[in-house]
Structure 1
Amino acid sequence: MKFFHHLLIALFLFSANFFAQSDNEDYTLEEIIVTAQKTEKSLQDVPIAVSALSADDLALRQAVRFTDLQLNVPNLSYSETNFGGSSVSIRGIGRLATGISFDQSVTTHINESPWGENTNVATMFDMDRVEVLRGPQGTLFGRGTTAGLVNLVTKRPSVDSGVEGYAGFTTGEYDLQVFEGAVNIPLDDNFAVRAAYTQTERDGFTENLYAPVGGTFDGREHYVGRISLRYDTGNTVIDYMYQEHEEESTRTLRTNYVCTPSANIARGCTLDGEGIGIANPAATYNGILAAVFLESAPLGANTAAYTAFGLNDAPRPDNMTLRQTHSDFVPIFDRQSGTHQLTISHDLDKGRLSLNMMNRESSSYTRMDTTLAVEPLLGVKVSDNPLTYVGGLISVDMLDHCVADQCGTKGPTQAERLSGQSGKYVLQTTNRNSFIDGSSNEQLTEYLELKYSSDLDGIFNYIVGINHYGHYEDDSYLTTSSPLTLLGDAQFFVPTTFGNTNEYALEASGLFGELYFDVQDNLRITLGLRYGEEKKINDIVTTTYGQARNVGAFAGVPWLLVDGDLYNCFEGIAGAFGQAPDQAVIGQILTGQASNGCGVGEQETVDLYGVSAQVNAASAALAGGIAAAGQIADPQQQALATGTAYATYFMSVKDLVPALYDRSEDYNKPGWESYQKNKLDYTTTAGRLIVDYAFGDDSLLYASYSRGTKPAGINPPINPRIYEKGLIPANTVEEKVDSYEIGIKSILLDGQMRLNTSLFYNKYTDMQISRILATTTFNFNIDSENYGAEIEMDYVPAAAPNLRLDFMFAYIKTKIMDDALTIDPFNIAAEGTKYFDAKNTVYKCIDLFYEGEGCVANTFIADKDLVNAAQAVLASLDAWLPVPGTTQADGHPIYMSRVALSALGIPTTTGVKQSIDGNRLPNTPELTTSLGLSYNFEVGNGISIVPNIYYYYQSDMYVNEFNNDLYGKVDAWDELNIGLTVGDIENQWYFRFFSRNALDEDNITWKYNSTDVTGNFQSYFLRDPRVTGIEYRYRF
């Protein structure tokens, strides 16, 4: 394909020499019709900043996927995101909040209905046009459009065009094979049907260098089919559409693993590293679990040490690129969706009544290698002197998980989990230190809108309507690893998988309207208002390796835990940590006035499992043991007797009640760290005022003020013993934006040029944004502002009527306005900022749990001098671990027990707070521009040749709100797309030679920052590499 690529460039350059040879008649730009105000109008008559791309524009500009819109629309940014999602940003605002109950700021609509489809998988085919409306657009389009929306308008059947359609085939690099076709069939004078279909297959863009698996990742194999019906009587039009999408591919949740291994195991990867290595195992959850708790790996060993012990038998190749990986697990991406839509419009004497109904169902299942690596073998220590490990002797079945209807097929049902039948759902059998994650999801979206648009003869007209939106979603995120599975097999209180399961329901209804007042023929005032009522319910069950409470201080073992309910029964007798036993309860048990120390909630669980007799017997023994110990005078003997009573209780009850993660919703209680049921009821109000003035022959000046709102969302459960009080809200508050805009739309030079410009200022109050703390993503509110300018121009000069020039320019300045200090979870010591303090030492936690939360491999900060002062005590508790390879230069350990430090009164924190006030918003380049040129050569015999070139540039940007140049900056990049179309002048057939990203640049759209548990690696999300190919299309 390299020869073909160079040939294509040569053909384009050769053809460009003939730009001045055409003698065609004058050409004017085609009028573009949009529905930006819920009625069909010319783009130039709509007083809103709108970009519209017709089907021909999409084809000529090679905009084949959603991501390509950013090359053609001012101030629109797009990126795939971690876990298989996507983010569309307009004017600096996009998917900044994360979570099932958090709405996007840019919504995707299909034929004016909020679609809800993941734009990462949405396919733009057989389109009439794509409309991009800058926000806020809540007045007419409803909730969640504070930054704007993208409206996909599909081709409708036609009763007037006869039997017509097209069929096309594309082939190219990476074994790309695409078929697309459509046919329109009128059945009588009023009824027509249109069927469209596309299918895509290609190899992945990421080469897997692990020979036993080989091949490529991030491939595609999917199809989309659509059938549309239209019944048109003239004054009544009924449209029905059904679209189905199915994909089974190796699409990856992240495309690469960027890491320069760190020698300081406070981080697995250096903060500013850009290599394609693997994190230092001594700094990761898997590595610490394996070494500290399972002894299946050398303590504190880096990759070189694993190699020396013979455990790293498949080392990662050197000098890998961003488009190469080394993995023994092939990604799984299965997705199905179906969308029904019915629209009815009926013309009345003085207006039009319209109904829009939509129903969408989807399910998805994704799994991939978290670290994109062939990890070292699980070892068995066969000798201490010399230290010797043998790898490959242990094999682990890593289990799958599921959600909703997928349970029983891809993962165990609740009954199968409780009865121990999960073993038949094996995701991977491995003898390595593997780590796998992914999600399972099922969704149902429903939309209903009824509106009336007046058509009065006077100076007033209006639109009024009502809509209802319902969204119901079950989602489960899975993380599993081989050390975690081994630990779960050995310890009853540790799950073998963990993640979040969400059951989410949203009901939203609204009343909306706009009044149009024609002050005079060329001056109009628009006043719009929307009132909405919404309800969100989100049930969250969090399965983590921290679903128990730390009682290690009683037994001298920092990671000894029991099931939550049974421990609460224990506390009812023995008292909470640091408190004396409750002698009153002990007396009641010994005299028969009480059976145990359980509370009402705990007793419900005990009764549910029918184990009251066993718990009562254990409780009586515990009460008696504590009472007897209290009679012993010798303090040491008393402590021994008390500890024996505690241990006897734990051994008696540990297998009575299944671990919390095995319970269904009915067994959970709100208020536990692992369970949360939250409900939000609220109202929203949005509106806008627009004044537009038509002047000259074809020019429109407009000025507008809009108020947009985005509903609040619900955060995951919060453990108040871990996080500072007030640091994390239970839920965010409503996001509001006040937007001011002035623009001019013009048709100039007798129809040769379309020039649209705008200036804008947006003030966001309580903007929703997310960040990861420990291993959980939480959402917060901050204020921000942005302002800028946009220019769009299409030009067909009279001097060269076969030449077309398309130009786009956008500038935006963004600023965060937030006085609160916050922690950067990817850089908890605030390195590279003025807040960095060398006295703060970053430690790696070696406790399995800290305050009921998983602690292994999490980082925390403490004062090194205070820790040094307690060295002797810490060493006696096995909490001071100066393991070779894991210490600072002076021998000070990085492995540390946070439980022990807290017990000794040494303060610990999750990070250093820093200011983000004045920083730029993430994922927002300040400058973007594009230039497109095409020329139509008519070479005789009814043949035309059209070369085209499109160039795009964007300036640098940051990936999060901390604006740290060490790790968070994406450099400026550009992209060149070229094409050459050969076809007949009647446009019945053509061949199009194309090269997308012709210079084969690795253009970064976003960087994902992982947690300290997985070693603080990054994933760079890239636009596609160069794809050169040829497309043939025939119209009939």
Structure 2
Amino acid sequence: MLNKTISIAISAIIMPVFLVGVAFSQALERQGIEEIIVTAQKTEQNIQDVPIAVTAFNTESLELQQIETFSDLQFNAPNITFTKGNFAGSNFVIRGVNSYTVAASGDGGVAFHINEVPVATRIFETEYYDLERVEILRGPQGTLYGANSVGGTVNMMFASPTDVAESSVEVEVGDYGHRKFKAMVNMPLADGLALRVAGLSLQRDGFSDNLFPGRETDVDGRDITSWRFTLQAELSESTTAKFTYWNFEEDDNRARIGRQMCKATEVPSFGCHPTEIGYEGPAGTSTFGGDVAAIAGLMTWSPMDYMGKTVRSTDPRATYQNMNPVYKASEDGYLLSVESNAFENITIRANLLYHETSVFSQQDYNNNDGSSKFAVYNPNNTNPLVAGGNAAFPQGIVPVSQYTPTACGVFCGAIQGYYDYSFAYDTSMGGAESKYVDISVQSTFDGPVNFIAGLNVSEYESAGVYDVYFSSADAAAIAPILAGLKLYPSHYRNETNPYELERKGLFAEVYYQATDDLKVTVGARWNESEKSVADRQLLFNSAILGGGTGPGDPVTLAVQTGDPKFVPILIGLAAPPGALEPIPGLAEQRRLQGVSSSFSEKEVTGKIGIDWTPDLEGTDSTLVYFTYSRGYRPGAFNPPVDPNLFAGVAQTTDPEFIDAFELGMKNVLLDNTLIANLTAFYYDYQDLQVSKIIARTSVNENIDAEMQGLEAELFWSPSSVPGLRIDAQVSFLETEVANNTYSLNPLDKIGRNLGDTSGWLVKDFGNGATCGFKKASILGGIATGVLNINPAAGALDMIAAAKTMSVNNIDSADPSGTVGAVAQIFGMGALPTLGNCAVMNTKLTAAGLGGFYEPEYDISGNELVQAPAVTAHLGLEYTADLSQSNLMITSRIDYYWQDDFWTRLYNMPRDVVDAWDVINAQIIFQSTSAPWYVRIWGQNLADDDNITGHYFTAEASGGFRNDFLLDPRMIGVTFGAKF
């Protein structure tokens, strides 16, 4: 396959040479390096005059390098990576700086701007069309671009109306039923008044094969429309106003996640092997779904009864999705920009933005192939904790809740469907509204001092819901063995409504031209952020697993009302005075735990820069610059976690700061045919915000880190070979977590991979999380009667186990058949696996036997995530002018390679993404006497299944890994015309 790809690529480059024979001698319009104008410093400048590491693409280079989405930028600029996220989001990384925080209140590490205005656009869905250019500014840009630009800024500039009537149309077809249509019309309406309208439509079939019988055979397709119009008016000789509206709509079966990786173990506390990868489902009792299925009498407590040893396809684009994915997204933006030069040598700019987005996504959660069925009813089975089925579900078929705003699910008749196996799906949805206004003043004095200063104010409000529905939870919730308790709600919900952000900023930069070739820049920004949040987490809130005693079966004993003011629902009980709602209201969990729901921050950041433009022999122009800048990203809320399980978790993360030092050199050589740019940088990061998943929720914390790197960019149009253009980028990056940094590893809470064998991992039968204790503590608690494992004595603290098993030096136990054989098991030396973590900790601590034991990993010196050490790109382009045939042919090939990188800070074997490469190529036939052109293009020609990122699920889901992939090979043809 690789040889075939190379042959195709080489043919794409040399074909025009054979066609034209002597084309080398012909003059070409594109000879030399084309000047690119950018507005990286809020004013128009040649990119080579900007003392910032900037990579920019104009309209022509976007087309020639097949840059169609934000994901494509990583192949064409140094130290950039991009990956989709697990919750309808994405992560754009510059120099290892990204959005590590997982929280509705978290800020991005890279700022995204449209026409120089910050916009929370849905970047991973967006397709480019009718752009003037895209600029990538690497390094902190907080002085001019605000608090979210610690990693850098991406500025997307829409094409503006002109005073020339013009239009274009483009039709594209390709593999997977790919169909794309783009069009643009520019109309001068009157003197000083022009309108530009552009749009895009994209449809294609899915990239993934769905192997589940009776469902759509392919998923992850696209059905997208987007359009915008811009009206520009010259209000006077010195003042121009521009209004832009844009719209984006998507309605298809886009899959947020695809391949899921797991090597099943027989250890109930671990669904998936902590260090190895396989193509199986997690063990049954390692998941909360498996546990509650056993409570409902639909499964045994055997580890392998759920999805374990279910062999999945090794094809990375093959999935089992019983539920056809649903993906709906929309975006609307309204932007008014005014620029005036009414005062001599002064430019005043103002922007006013209103922007809103929404997304709704549903899809299969665990890719279960359905082969492990629920047990049918067995009337001779009297033990509710042992398989045999339940009379309420005689055929082993149970309902699954559908999304409702109130989370009532099966209790109010909202049924998604009926299933005879452990089916699960999730819903990720949300909406956001933002308002923004800024005004700036910039000087162009003839003297040595100039400046830019301004202020901006913004308001942002969002709401979001993430639900996980699973058939076993619905079955347990309405199972008759729970009598009147009724576990409600019967699905997991993480809800924020609303999250509100108010932000103000004042900034100024002063430029002092000390000599003809030396300039000094000093800048500062004052930032103020106010955040508030109303959120909650729901799952079985009306009956909390806790200690206590009472009559009835073991489950009724184990499932107690954790707070006497909580009222079980649907059983006709009158609420006692002062009772809480059956489920906590938004922000109620924070209030009950004494956790603040708002905070504010005020910070000052700035930069100092020195530019030197020496007249060096051998160069056409040279710029040497040094910059020190201080970047800042505001803190964020942590979720309202249970303090009994998460002692010491901060209510908010601290703000993070970065001290960045950058030395750069930009050169134009060989009569404007060669550009050679070099940048070196060093970052000292304080309180970097990072995240991990523990017990169904994201927990964020702060660490210190260092980053350093080197970037080189080369653009060459050799005069000896007219029509040939070469561009190349290479980057080196070294990241390191600071010394004396420790963090709890969710995949190894008892430190077995650190060589510690004294701990024991317990699976919490109330929430599916895991917790660690010393073995000696548990043995002491059982021996002294502090911990109860006998259902006859009251509520169970643990469920005893029949045998001890080990995988990768991690011991655990098999809980199958334990309740009915407690007397036989006790004293055999096997420790229980399932228990109530909070109650065990309280009792063992009170008895002086020692509570939680969860040693933290020393991650000092580990690499940061999404930070490959080396990335490289090489582009070769050749244009042949067949003037005698009225035809111009351009061939181009692009090769990109990136080193391996980590997706978790623990740098364990499951965390690595191997190195990969991408080859793209195209041939363009363009008439020189008519407006038409044809492009034949190929992307990912080697058809590699390249992984861009991972997401590790919580212990409650068995800890399987979601992989995010690049698009497969696509080959197609584009027909277009410009008038």
Q: Same fold (TM over 0.5)?
A: yes
Unaligned runs of 5+ in 2: 480-484, 806-811, 815-827
Q: How does 1:460-471 map onto structure 2 within 5 Å? A: 460-471=449-460
Matched-pair contact (CA < 8 Å) for 1:131–1:151: yes
**CA distance in structure 2 between the aligned counterparts of 1:974 and 1:452, rounded to whole angstroms:** 45
Which residue number corresponds to residue 693 of structure 1?
A: 612
Which residue number corresponds to residue 496 of structure 1?
A: 490
Q: CA deviation at 1:493?
A: 4.5
SS in structure 2 of the partner of residue 214 of structure 1: coil
Range with greater deviation from structure 2 (47-56 or 272-281): 272-281
Q: CA deviation at 1:934?
A: 0.8
Which residue number corresponds to residue 176 of structure 2?
A: 174
Which residue number corresponds to residue 1001 of structure 1?
A: 944
Give the partner amino acid of 2:204.
R
Range with greater deviation from structure 2 (225-234 or 790-799): 225-234
Matched-pair contact (CA < 8 Å) for 2:638–2:651: yes
Deviations 1:733-761 (A, max 9, x none): 12111111111111111010122211111
| Closer/same/farther in 2, CA of residues 180 and 797 from structure 1, 3 Å limit | same
Q: CA deviation at 1:559?
A: 2.6
Matched-pair contact (CA < 8 Å) for 1:267–1:1016: yes
Q: How does 1:617-1016 map onto structure 2 within 5 Å? A: 658-661=581-584, 663=585, 668=588, 670-672=590-592, 677-696=596-615, 697-724=620-647, 726=648, 728-832=649-753, 835-846=754-765, 848=766, 854=767, 857-868=768-779, 873=785, 874-877=788-791, 879-882=798-801, 888=813, 892-893=830-831, 895-898=833-836, 901-902=840-841, 903-904=843-844, 905=847, 906-909=849-852, 911-939=854-882, 940-964=884-908, 966-985=909-928, 988-1016=931-959
Give the partner amino acid of 1:779.
N
Which residue number corresponds to residue 47 of structure 1?
A: 51
Matched-pair contact (CA < 8 Å) for 1:94–1:106: yes
Give the partner amino acid of 1:892.
A
| Closer/same/farther in 2, CA of residues 1008 and 829 from structure 1, 3 Å limit | same
Matched-pair contact (CA < 8 Å) for 2:706–2:735: yes
Which residue number corresponds to residue 560 of structure 2?
A: 561
Q: CA deviation at 1:20?
A: 7.4
**CA distance in structure 2 between the aligned counterparts of 1:523 and 1:174, rounded to whole angstroms:** 56
**CA distance in structure 1 between the aligned counterparts of 2:402 and 2:671, rounded to whole angstroms:** 65
Deviations 1:548-568 (A, max 9, x none): 655532438653322735269
**CA distance in structure 1 between the aligned counterparts of 2:665 and 2:56, rounded to whole angstroms:** 16
Q: CA deviation at 1:494?
A: 3.0
Matched-pair contact (CA < 8 Å) for 1:84–1:252: no
Give the partner amino acid of 1:180.
K
Matched-pair contact (CA < 8 Å) for 1:167–1:181: yes
**CA distance in structure 2 between the aligned counterparts of 1:981 and 1:551, rounded to whole angstroms:** 69
Deviations 1:892-930 (A, max 9, x none): 255332356443545453733111111111110011110
Which residue number corresponds to residue 357 of structure 2?
A: 362
The one of 374, 378, 381 equivalent to 1:378 is 374
SS in structure 2 of the partner of residue 967 of structure 1: helix
Range with greater deviation from structure 2 (951-960 or 12-21): 12-21
SS in structure 2 of the partner of residue 84 of structure 1: coil
Alignment pair present for 1:507 and 2:507 = no
SS in structure 2 of the partner of residue 671 of structure 1: helix
Which residue number corresponds to residue 353 of structure 1?
A: 348
**CA distance in structure 2 between the aligned counterparts of 1:883 and 1:945, rounded to whole angstroms:** 74
**C-alpha RMSD of matched pairs (Å):** 3.0
**CA distance in structure 2 between the aligned counterparts of 1:987 and 1:517, rounded to whole angstroms:** 51
Alignment pair present for 1:321 and 2:315 = yes
Alignment pair present for 1:399 and 2:401 = yes
**CA distance in structure 1 between the aligned counterparts of 2:317 and 2:434, rounded to whole angstroms:** 36
Which residue number corresponds to residue 111 of structure 1?
A: 115
Q: CA deviation at 1:40?
A: 1.1
**CA distance in structure 2 between the aligned counterparts of 1:68 and 1:807, rounded to whole angstroms:** 15
**Number of residue pairs matched by the alignment:** 918
The one of 308, 329, 332 equivalent to 1:338 is 332
Matched-pair contact (CA < 8 Å) for 1:412–1:422: no
Q: CA deviation at 1:829?
A: 3.5
Matched-pair contact (CA < 8 Å) for 1:395–1:429: yes
Matched-pair contact (CA < 8 Å) for 1:539–1:676: no
The answer to which structure has the higher helix fraction is 1
**CA distance in structure 1 between the aligned counterparts of 2:17 and 2:270, rounded to whole angstroms:** 57
**CA distance in structure 2 between the aligned counterparts of 1:89 and 1:713, rounded to whole angstroms:** 19
Matched-pair contact (CA < 8 Å) for 1:301–1:885: no
Q: CA deviation at 1:827?
A: 2.7
Q: CA deviation at 1:514?
A: 0.9
| Closer/same/farther in 2, CA of residues 672 and 378 from structure 1, 3 Å limit | farther
TM-score normalised by the chain length of structure 2: 0.89
Give the partner amino acid of 1:45.
D
Which residue number corresponds to residue 290 of structure 1?
A: 293
Give the partner amino acid of 2:263.
T
Matched-pair contact (CA < 8 Å) for 2:595–2:651: no
TM-score normalised by the chain length of structure 1: 0.84
| Closer/same/farther in 2, CA of residues 398 and 987 from structure 1, 3 Å limit | farther
Give the partner amino acid of 1:615.
P
Deviations 1:765-811 (A, max 9, x none): 11111112222111111111111111111110000120000100111
Which residue number corresponds to residue 404 of structure 1?
A: none
Alignment pair present for 1:258 and 2:261 = yes
Matched-pair contact (CA < 8 Å) for 2:864–2:905: yes
Which residue number corresponds to residue 600 of structure 1?
A: none
| Closer/same/farther in 2, CA of residues 885 and 400 from structure 1, 3 Å limit | farther
| Closer/same/farther in 2, CA of residues 909 and 172 from structure 1, 3 Å limit | farther
Q: CA deviation at 1:883?
A: 5.0
Matched-pair contact (CA < 8 Å) for 1:300–1:884: no
Matched-pair contact (CA < 8 Å) for 1:540–1:676: no
The one of 51, 60, 63 equivalent to 2:64 is 60
Matched-pair contact (CA < 8 Å) for 2:541–2:582: no
**CA distance in structure 2 between the aligned counterparts of 1:860 and 1:476, rounded to whole angstroms:** 27
**CA distance in structure 2 between the aligned counterparts of 1:236 and 1:925, rounded to whole angstroms:** 47
**CA distance in structure 2 between the aligned counterparts of 1:330 and 1:754, rounded to whole angstroms:** 50
Q: CA deviation at 1:251?
A: 1.4
SS in structure 2 of the partner of residue 187 of structure 1: strand
SS in structure 2 of the partner of residue 566 of structure 1: coil
Range with greater deviation from structure 2 (864-873 or 993-1002): 864-873
Give the partner amino acid of 1:321.
D
Which residue number corresponds to residue 619 of structure 1?
A: none
Matched-pair contact (CA < 8 Å) for 1:487–1:494: no
Which residue number corresponds to residue 270 of structure 1?
A: 273
| Closer/same/farther in 2, CA of residues 506 and 986 from structure 1, 3 Å limit | farther
Give the partner amino acid of 1:700.
L
| Closer/same/farther in 2, CA of residues 864 and 302 from structure 1, 3 Å limit | same
SS in structure 2 of the partner of residue 561 of structure 1: coil
| Closer/same/farther in 2, CA of residues 615 and 444 from structure 1, 3 Å limit | closer
Matched-pair contact (CA < 8 Å) for 1:539–1:677: no
| Closer/same/farther in 2, CA of residues 546 and 859 from structure 1, 3 Å limit | farther
| Closer/same/farther in 2, CA of residues 961 and 329 from structure 1, 3 Å limit | same
Range with greater deviation from structure 2 (22-31 or 780-789): 22-31
Which residue number corresponds to residue 241 of structure 1?
A: 244
Deviations 1:363-382 (A, max 9, x none): 11111111022343333331
Q: CA deviation at 1:65?
A: 1.2
**CA distance in structure 1 between the aligned counterparts of 2:418 and 2:412, rounded to whole angstroms:** 11
**CA distance in structure 2 between the aligned counterparts of 1:979 and 1:567, rounded to whole angstroms:** 65
SS in structure 2 of the partner of residue 382 of structure 1: coil
Give the partner amino acid of 1:518.
Q
**CA distance in structure 1 between the aligned counterparts of 2:564 and 2:367, rounded to whole angstroms:** 38
SS in structure 2 of the partner of residue 22 of structure 1: helix
Q: CA deviation at 1:180?
A: 0.9
**CA distance in structure 2 between the aligned counterparts of 1:530 and 1:126, rounded to whole angstroms:** 33
